[in-house]
Structure 1
Amino acid sequence: MIEVLHPTDDAERIEELRRAEYGLAYVDGWATARSELIAIDSFSSLPLDWNDERVVDSSSRFIHFPWRSTLVRLPDSEHFYRLRTARNRFLIDNDEQTTWGSALIGIAGLSVGSSVAAVCSLTGARRFHIADPDTLGPSNLNRLQGSVCDLGMAKVTLAQRRILEIDPYSDVSGFPGGYTSTDGTFLRSSGGERVAVLVEEMDDLAMKLAIRLEARALQIPVVMATDNGDNVILDVERYDRDANYPPFHGRAGDLTACSESELNEPANRTRLANAIVGSDVTPRTRYSLTEVGRTLPSWPQLGTAANAAGSTAALAARLMVSGADIQSGRYRVDLDRILLGESASLATRWNELDESAFVRSMAQQ
C-alpha cells in the first residue's frame, strides 16, 4: 500500500516522485522530529548529533502514501519508534514496549475492531492481521471514524491506511474477505507464527464460534468487547492457559454440534446472543436484542461505546501480551454509573421504569 524508500538505494524513485508531474504533496517530518530527538537524546550518554545533516540523511526514509498523493520524509523505523513511544515511557516500561511492538495482533471484525486497531497502534503495536468482509456504509459513521469520502471502501483498507498513517513502518496484513474457518492463515503468519492475542468483534455467530475453536486449538487468548448502551462488556478467554476453556464461558452451552445455518437462523441467533450477553444489560440494549432480524439488521451501537470498547479491548490485549495475570471471565465498564453514581445511574433509573411501557414506547418510534 505504501513505499518506504531509502535515500541512497532508492534515490531515483524518490527523484521521480518529487517531479512536478506527479503532483505529490511533500511533508518533511524532520521539521519537528529533529528538535524532539535532540530533546530525547539530551538524557542519553551517547547522543547523536541531529544538527549534522549527514546524520539526518543517513537516518531518513521517504514514505509514499499513494491514497494521499503525499511523500513524507521521516526518521527511519528505529528512531521514529523512539519518537512515537517517547511519551509512553514509564507508563509502559521498555520491556513491555518492545514486547508489544513485536507482537502479532489479530483483529477480526472492524467496527469496534477498527477502534481497537487504532488504539493498539497508538500505544506502539506494529504488527497486525485484520479481517472484515464489509465496506463502509453511511450507517457505520455513527461509531466508526471514517469519512463520507470513503463510502463503499473496504473496512480493511481503511483500517490499514489508518495504522500506516500512524506508523508507516507497521506490518499490516489485511483479509478483506473476512475470517474464514477453512483458510488457516488469519491466526498464523506466513512463517507459522501464531498471533499473540485475538480480538474478536465479528457479527456472524458461526464465525465467532469457529474462530474461538481454532484459537483454542492454537492456545491463543481471545478478547471480545461488546457494546452495552454507552457501556462496555469485556470478555476474556485464556485459551493459552486452559485448552479446555468453553467458548463464551459456556454461557450458550455446547455449540460445537450446531451447523452454521442453525447458529445464524434468526430465532436461534437471538436466543444465543441473549444467552451469551446475559441479562445484566441496559433495558434499551435488551430490547434492541429482541429486534435484531425483525426491525433491525444488526445490534445498534453508539460511538461512545465503540470507542470505549476499542480502548478497553486494546488495553486488555496489551496487558496480556505483556504478561499480566488477567483471568478468563467477564469484566464490565459502566460509564453511566461512574458519571452519575450508583443510585442515579442510567441503568438504575431505566430499570425502575415500567419496562413494558418502555418497550411499547420504543416500538412506536
Structure 2
Amino acid sequence: MIEILDPKTDSRRIDELLQPNCGMHYVDGWKSARSELAAIDAFGPASPNWDDDRVVEDSSRYIVYPWRSTMVRLPADEHFYRLRTARNRYLLDDDEQRQWGSALIGVAGLSVGASVVSVCALTGARRFRIADLDTLGPSNLNRLQGSVCDLGMSKVTLAQRRLLETDPYCDVSAHPNGYDSLDGSFLGSVGEEQLSVLAEEMDDLALKVVVRQQARVLGIPVVMATDNGDNVILDVERYDLDAEYPLFHGRAGEFTGMDVSELNDPRNRIRIASAIVGSDVTPRTRYSLTQVGRSLPSWPQLGTAANAAGSVAGLAARLIVLGADMQSGRYRVDLDRILLGDKAASATRWNELDEYAFAALMSQRY
C-alpha cells in the first residue's frame, strides 16, 4: 500500500516524486524529529550528530502514501520507533516495549476491534492481522474514527491505512473477506506464525464459536470486549494456560457436535447469545435492544463505550503478551457507576423488559 524509499538506492524515484508537476504533497518529518531525537539521546550512549544534514539524510526514509498523494520524510525504522515510543518510557521499560512491539496481534471484527487496533498501535504494537468483511456505512460514524469521504470503503483497508499512517514500518496482514474458519493463515495453523493474542470482536455467532475452538487447539489466548451502554464487559479466555478451558467460560455449554447451521438456527442463537452475554446489562441498553428492527437498524452502541472497550481490550492484550498474571474470566468496567454511583441505575422506566424478549433481541447481535 505504501512505498518506503531509501535515498541511497532510490534517489531517482525520490527526485521524480519531488517534482512540482508530480502532484505529490511533501512533508518533512525531520523538522521536529531532529530536536526530539537529540533530546532523548542526550543522556544515552554516543548517538549520531543530528545537526549534520548528511547524517540526517543517511538516516532518512521517504514514505509514499498514494491515497493521500503525499510523501513524508521520516527517520529510519529504529530511530522512528524510539521517537514514537519515547513518552512510553518508564511506563513501559525497554524490554516490555520490545516484547510488545514484536508481538503478533490478531483482531477479528473492526467495529470495537478498530479501537483495539488503534490503542495497540498507539502503545507501540507493530505487527497485526486484521479481518472484517464489512464496509464503512453512515451509521458506523457514531463509534468509528472515519470520514464521510470513506463511506463504502472496506473497514480493513481503513484500519490498515490508519496503522501505516501511525507507523509506516509496522507489519499489517489484511483479511478483507473476514475471518475464514477454513483458512488457517489468520490464526497461524498452517505453517504461519501463530498469533500472540486474539481480540475477537465479530458479530457472527458461529464464527465466534469456531474461532475459539481453533484458538484453544493452538493455545492462543482470546480477549473480547463488549460495549454495554457507556460501560465495558471484558471476557478473557487463556487457552495458552489451560487447553481445557471452556468456551465463553462455559456459560453456553461446549457446543459439542454443533455445526454452523445449528449454531445459526434462531432458537439456538437466542439461547446461546443470551447465555454468553447474560442479562446483566445497563437498563438503557436493555431498552434499546427492544428497538432493534424497529427504530434502530442494529445493535445500539456509543462511541464512548466503543473507545473504552478498545482501551480495555488493548490493555488486556498487552498484559497477556507481557506475562502478567491475568486469569480467564469476565471483568466489568462500569464507568457510569464510577461517576454516578447508585444513581446510574435509578432510571426505572428503562427496566420494563420481558426476559424472553430480551434474550431474543440479544440473539440479533450475532
Is 1:349–2:349 an aligned residue pair?
no
Count of equivalent residues: 357
Cα separation, 1, equivalents of 2:80 and 2:353: 57
Kept in 1, the 8 Å contact 2:200–2:223? The answer is: yes
The letter of the residue matching 1:126 is R
Kept in 1, the 8 Å contact 2:287–2:353? The answer is: no
Give the corresponding residue for 2:22.
Answer: 22
After superposition, residues 82-101 of structure 1 pair within 5 angstroms as 82-101=82-101
Kept in 2, the 8 Å contact 1:29–1:74? The answer is: yes
Give the corresponding residue for 1:193.
Answer: 193
Give the corresponding residue for 1:61.
Answer: 61
The Cα shift of 1:188 comes to 1.7
Cα separation, 1, equivalents of 2:189 and 2:157: 19
Q: 1:31 to 1:43 in 2, by over 3 A?
A: same
SS at match of 1:313: helix
Give the corresponding residue for 1:302.
Answer: 302
Kept in 2, the 8 Å contact 1:107–1:128? The answer is: yes
The Cα shift of 1:298 comes to 3.2
Kept in 2, the 8 Å contact 1:198–1:220? The answer is: yes
SS at match of 1:232: strand
Does 41-50 or 288-297 show the bigger shift?
288-297
The letter of the residue matching 1:107 is V
**% identical equivalent positions:** 70
The Cα shift of 1:76 comes to 0.3
The Cα shift of 1:193 comes to 1.2
Give the corresponding residue for 2:361.
Answer: none
Q: 1:197 to 1:328 in 2, by over 3 A?
A: same
Q: Once superposed, what is the RMSD of the aligned Cα atoms? A: 2.1
After superposition, residues 1-365 of structure 1 pair within 5 angstroms as 1-188=1-188, 192-289=192-289, 292=292, 297-341=297-341, 343-344=342-343, 346=344, 348-350=345-347, 352-353=348-349, 355-356=351-352
Q: Could you list the per-position Cα deviations for residues 60-116 of structure 1 after superposition, in whole angstroms to 9, with x for gaps in the alignment?
A: 000000001000000000000000000000101111100000011000000000010
Cα separation, 1, equivalents of 2:354 and 2:209: 33
The Cα shift of 1:286 comes to 2.8
The Cα shift of 1:355 comes to 2.7
The Cα shift of 1:288 comes to 4.1
The letter of the residue matching 2:220 is I
The Cα shift of 1:17 comes to 1.4
Cα separation, 2, equivalents of 1:72 and 1:264: 48
Kept in 2, the 8 Å contact 1:101–1:126? The answer is: yes
Cα separation, 1, equivalents of 2:350 and 2:35: 62
Cα separation, 1, equivalents of 2:224 and 2:256: 19
Does 23-32 or 262-271 show the bigger shift?
262-271
The letter of the residue matching 1:356 is E
SS at match of 2:226: strand
Kept in 2, the 8 Å contact 1:206–1:264? The answer is: yes
Q: 1:322 to 1:354 in 2, by over 3 A?
A: closer
Kept in 2, the 8 Å contact 1:270–1:292? The answer is: no
Instruction: Please list every run of 5 or more consecutive structure 2 residues that lacks an aligned counterpart in the other structure.
Output: 356-366
Cα separation, 2, equivalents of 1:211 and 1:128: 17
Q: Could you list the per-position Cα deviations for residues 29-52 of structure 1 after superposition, in whole angstroms to 9, with x for gaps in the alignment?
A: 000000100111111131321001
SS at match of 1:356: coil
Does 236-245 or 16-25 show the bigger shift?
16-25
Q: Could you list the per-position Cα deviations for residues 312-333 of structure 1 after superposition, in whole angstroms to 9, with x for gaps in the alignment?
A: 0000001110110100000010
Cα separation, 1, equivalents of 2:189 and 2:9: 28
Instruction: Please list every run of 5 or more consecutive structure 1 residues that lacks an aligned counterpart in the other structure.
Output: 360-365
The letter of the residue matching 2:253 is G
The Cα shift of 1:189 comes to 8.6
The Cα shift of 1:294 comes to 7.1
Cα separation, 2, equivalents of 1:5 and 1:190: 33
Kept in 2, the 8 Å contact 1:270–1:290? The answer is: no
